[in-house]
Amino acid sequence: MSSGQEPVFPEYETETSQTSKLLRKFKETPFVPIGMAGFAMVVGYGLYRLKHRGDMKMSLHLIHMRVAAQGFVVGAITCGVLYSMLREYVVKPKE
C-alpha cells in the first residue's frame, strides 16, 4: 500500500497483537469460546472412552460422540443468541 492512500479498513490495519484481537472477540461473543471448549472436552472424553467402550461398535461410539459434540456447540450458540437478544431488546442500552 502506498503512503498516499488511506486504508480501506483502518480498524483492521492497526498495530494490534493477535492476543488482543482474540481477547476482544472473546469479550464481544463470550459463548463462542465456551462452545469451542465444550466441543474439545467432548472430543477428549470420547477419545478416552474409546478404549473402554466394551462390545459397542466403533461406528456407534463415534456417532454418539458426534451427536454430543454437536449438541454442546448448538447449545452454546443458542445461549449466545439468546444472550445477545436479551441485551439488545430487553435490557436496552442507553443511547
Hey, what's the cell of 63?
456417532
Model pLDDT for residues 41-70, shown as the tens digit of each residue: 888 888 888 888 788 888 898 898 889 888
pLDDT at position 67? 92
pLDDT at 6: 67
pLDDT, tens only, 16-41:
788 887 788 788 777 778 888 888 88
Hey, what long-range contacts does 26-29 have (CB within 8 A, 24 or more apart)? 29/80
Three-class DSSP category at 16: coil
Q: Phi and psi (nearest 5°) for 22?
A: -65, -45
pTM > 0.75: yes or no: no
The pLDDT value recorded for residue 9 is: 62
| Residues near 47 by beta carbon (within 8 Å), at least 6 away in sequence | none
